[in-house]
Structure 1
Amino acid sequence: MTKKARLIYNPVSGHEQMPKNVADILDVLEQAGYEASAFRTTPKPMSAQNEATRAAEEGFDLIVAAGGDGTINEVVNGLAFLEKRPKMAIIPAGTTNDYARALAIPRDDILEAAKVILKNNSRKMDIGKANFGDRTQYFVNIAASGSLTELTYGVPSEVKSALGYAAYLIKGAEMLPRLTSNEMRLTYDDGVYEGKLSMFLLGMTNSIGGFEQIMPDAQLSDGLFQLIVVKPSDPVNMMKLMALALNGKHVDDPNIIYTKTTSLKAELIGESKDTELPVNLDGEIGGYCPVTFENMKQHIEFFVGGPEN
């Protein structure tokens, strides 16, 4: 029986490069043994997500998400809750492409990224689940909350490309005067943290905002999140901490908690209890605290870069 693949692509990602590559990508999928078709996303909310669910329920064997981290996140959200899930492949066409970086997918050539499928090298990956009480969201790279979160996603990609680490330090210096802290209770495998914090990060890969040292021990399929909690500090020390983080030397700092956990419950307490604190999932606001996170071990199988099987 012929296998079926559905390409779900964002036409405006990557300087609108995707539409002119669709025919060549479908040709690669045919070479890989799939009967291939394409879906062009629309500005309608959850366009990619709904199509991923529809294709999976129709029995497609492979869903290819082509676009930026937001498109990939949407497709994952369209599949993760299903009992029977097709394989996934990624064609990065965004600005940061954190998850593609983690999977060793070429990020500067759309067609080369598609050809990863021809190598038939796939691996079951962990998926993060965030329960906000009234609804559930999924993520593949990072969940974060707190006033420092803006630093992770607030630097424009062109500035990052030009200035590298310095871009984050400049952004950090700009943010410091308005940094606040929230009083929270974080419950994780090894204990409970109660007190003020500037940010928590729950990572699934080692690539955040294009840098690969912030979660130095991240594994993609071990069923564990990397948890970083940043305690409040004075501005000078906070700048020092940011510089250390960008080089992966922050994990031993006394203002940092760094551990691994299968789950996390994050809730506001004390004077922060009535604060509306957003939670960022893969670069977009996914909901607001309180939230409970669960690592869904090896939940979706992805094609990855690397040698052929």
Structure 2
Amino acid sequence: MEKIIIIFNGTAGNSNNEEIAKRAKNYLEKHGKIATLSKTNSEQDAINQAAQAVDIYDYLVTIGGDGSINTVCAGFLKANKTIPLGIIPGGTVNNFARALKIPLNTDKAIENLLTGTPKNVDLGHIDRQPIISSLTLGRLADISRNVKQTEKKKFGRIVYLFKGIKELFTNRSYKLKITANGKTETLRAQILLITTTNSVGGYVEFNPQAAYDDDYLHVFLLKKFTLPKILTYGSFFLSGNLKQARGVKYFKTKEVKIENLSSRDIKTRIDGDPAMALPITVQTIPDFLKVVMPDK
């Protein structure tokens, strides 16, 4: 009989996770699986549990958004191996789940744990710090940094729009040295975005040519982030053609080194959460994950 561990955040403010975990356990056991519930009390605890699970269980299920999935993947990287990963989305944006077409409805996501199929998925990383969906720096990261968790829960994704309008009144740019595909270039940009799938911010048509298993990082640099440019970028963004807009530099690569040539520190955000400052080297591990996805 297959053994499945369901890891969920057991800290205050996430009480519904335990109820969802119990529903998933009951569903799996009704269908002949052995399911174990495991609360986590910190990010490090979740990482450790995921790392230990790969030698004990056949599947791991996580409940939450991109941050929770990222934490599990950190455990997989720590163990340097994986087991199939089931996802029950529970975040605000759920960008990774949307890109993989995992149901956002809780009951359907639980059903997908059995009806879906584990499929290979690439994983980005910086020195074994996983990137499941995106890395941002520059003004896009500044916008996210100004969004409080309480605001995300109350207003949802639209809060980023309001914060972005406020950010328009600054004119901050960043001088970067970028090395990728055997070339080094120095340039100024206001936004840098790296994605591992076709989705950004929950919009799954952002980059139709990208795929979760294409082995590449997709890098976008936006030189200007003014109101007129936002209107232009918006139309290209919605049509899935941002890479073709004037003022946008795009390339794909399996590794990119980004160095800071500005006088102030430049910090990144990974999968929506604060992360390290430059310099960084981002790499991709092809097909490292096996994520349970719908067959259709």
TM over 0.5: same fold? yes
Alpha-carbon distance, 1:51 to partner: 1.1
Which residue identity does 1:26 align to in structure 2? K
Alpha-carbon distance, 1:160 to partner: 4.7
Which residue identity does 1:123 align to in structure 2? K
Alpha-carbon distance, 1:259 to partner: 1.9
Matches within 5 A, 1:146-157: 146-151=138-143, 154=147, 156=152
2:230 to 210, 233, 239: 239
Which residue identity does 1:255 align to in structure 2? G
Structure 1 match to 2:22: 23
Structure 1 residues 112-169: Cα deviation after superposition (integer angstroms, max 9, x where no partner): 20111211412010000113xxxx31111001111232346748365456x6xxx655
Structure 1 match to 2:274: 285
Structure 1 residues 45-90: Cα deviation after superposition (integer angstroms, max 9, x where no partner): 422111111222x421111111122111101111124333211110
1:206 paired with 2:198, answer yes
- Indicate the SS of the match to 2:244: coil
1:82 paired with 2:73, answer no
Structure 2 match to 1:184: 176
Identical residues among aligned pairs (%) = 24
2:215 to 207, 219, 223: 223
Structure 2 match to 1:51: 49
Which residue identity does 2:35 align to in structure 1? A
Alpha-carbon distance, 1:14 to partner: 9.0
Q: Is the 8 A contact 2:138 2:173 kept in 1?
A: yes
User: For the structure 1 residues 290 and 32, does the alpha-carbon distance in structure 2 shift closer, same or farther, using more than 3 Å as the test?
Assistant: farther
- Indicate the SS of the match to 1:210: coil
Matches within 5 A, 1:88-127: 88-108=85-105, 110-127=106-123
- Indicate the SS of the match to 1:196: strand
Structure 1 match to 2:7: 8
More displaced 10-residue stretch of structure 1: 288-297 or 214-223? 214-223
Alpha-carbon distance, 1:288 to partner: 1.0
Q: Is the 8 A contact 1:125 1:297 kept in 2?
A: yes
User: For the structure 1 residues 196 and 48, does the alpha-carbon distance in structure 2 shift closer, same or farther, using more than 3 Å as the test?
Assistant: same
How far apart are the structure 2 equivalents of 1:179 and 1:156? 25
Structure 2 match to 1:141: 133
Structure 2 match to 1:265: 257
Structure 2 match to 1:297: 286
Alpha-carbon distance, 1:260 to partner: 1.4
Q: Is the 8 A contact 2:255 2:281 kept in 1?
A: yes
Structure 2, unpaired ranges of 5+ = none
How far apart are the structure 2 equivalents of 1:298 and 1:32? 29
How far apart are the structure 2 equivalents of 1:236 and 1:174? 11
Alpha-carbon distance, 1:18 to partner: 2.1
User: For the structure 1 residues 81 and 49, does the alpha-carbon distance in structure 2 shift closer, same or farther, using more than 3 Å as the test?
Assistant: closer
How far apart are the structure 1 equivalents of 2:82 and 2:140? 35
User: For the structure 1 residues 88 and 278, does the alpha-carbon distance in structure 2 shift closer, same or farther, using more than 3 Å as the test?
Assistant: same
Q: Is the 8 A contact 2:207 2:241 kept in 1?
A: no
How far apart are the structure 1 equivalents of 2:264 and 2:217? 26
Alpha-carbon distance, 1:297 to partner: 0.3
User: For the structure 1 residues 5 and 171, does the alpha-carbon distance in structure 2 shift closer, same or farther, using more than 3 Å as the test?
Assistant: same
Alpha-carbon distance, 1:107 to partner: 0.8
- Superposition TM-score, scaled by structure 1 size: 0.85
More displaced 10-residue stretch of structure 1: 150-159 or 138-147? 150-159
Alpha-carbon distance, 1:189 to partner: 1.9
TM-align CA RMSD: 2.4
- Indicate the SS of the match to 1:24: helix
Query: How many residue pairs are counted as aligned between the two chains?
Result: 291
Which residue identity does 1:104 align to in structure 2? K
1:64 paired with 2:61, answer yes
Q: Is the 8 A contact 1:278 1:286 kept in 2?
A: yes
Q: Is the 8 A contact 1:12 1:18 kept in 2?
A: no
Q: Is the 8 A contact 2:189 2:224 kept in 1?
A: yes
User: For the structure 1 residues 168 and 238, does the alpha-carbon distance in structure 2 shift closer, same or farther, using more than 3 Å as the test?
Assistant: farther
Q: Is the 8 A contact 1:96 1:210 kept in 2?
A: yes
- Indicate the SS of the match to 1:18: helix
